[in-house]
Amino acid sequence: MSGAAQHAYQYVALRCVPRVDREEFVNVGVVLYCHATDYLAAAWQVDPARLGALDALINPGQLRESLAFVDAVCAGQDRAGSAGKVPVSQRFGYLKAPRSTVLQPGPVHGGLTPDPARQLERLLHHLVG
């Protein structure tokens, strides 16, 4: 392990849940928040073939639009509306709360990292593929 300072972070996996009655989902992204560095970002990847295996009627374009909204909230952009105007910690709170039947956050997990952006990429690779 390097001597770099370790920062606590929290993250949620973003799940596409095409049919909540079947309780099936596929991970499509990750949101990572690090209070110490004021870092909040999302990384995501939509694989239409994986989505189609759960539900042939799912619209990958609409899912990408929802994920782009998550990006806007993370960045505090005007497009995010009131969710983008609050402090970073509250934006993470908004994103970790269930808001949609199709795009849902999983449980909150945490860890330590010297580099939140790099950890986000690791989590995307590990959880989404």
Average pLDDT over residues 2-7: 85
- Give the tokens for residue 110: 């945490």
Q: Looking at per-residue confidence, does 91 or 101 come out higher?
A: 91
The one-letter code for the residue type at 6 is Q
Q: Convert the pLDDT of each residue in 26-76 to its tens digit.
A: 999 999 999 999 999 999 999 999 999 999 999 999 999 999 999 999 999
**pLDDT classification of 23: cutoffs 50, 70, 90:** confident
pLDDT at 14 over 70: yes
Q: How far apart are CA 69 and CA 74, in angstroms?
A: 9
Q: Convert the pLDDT of each residue in 68-94 to its tens digit.
A: 999 999 999 999 999 999 999 999 999
Asked if 62 and 18 touch (Cβ cutoff 8 Å), the reply is no
- Give the tokens for residue 104: 């849902």
In Å, the largest CA–CA distance within the chain is 49
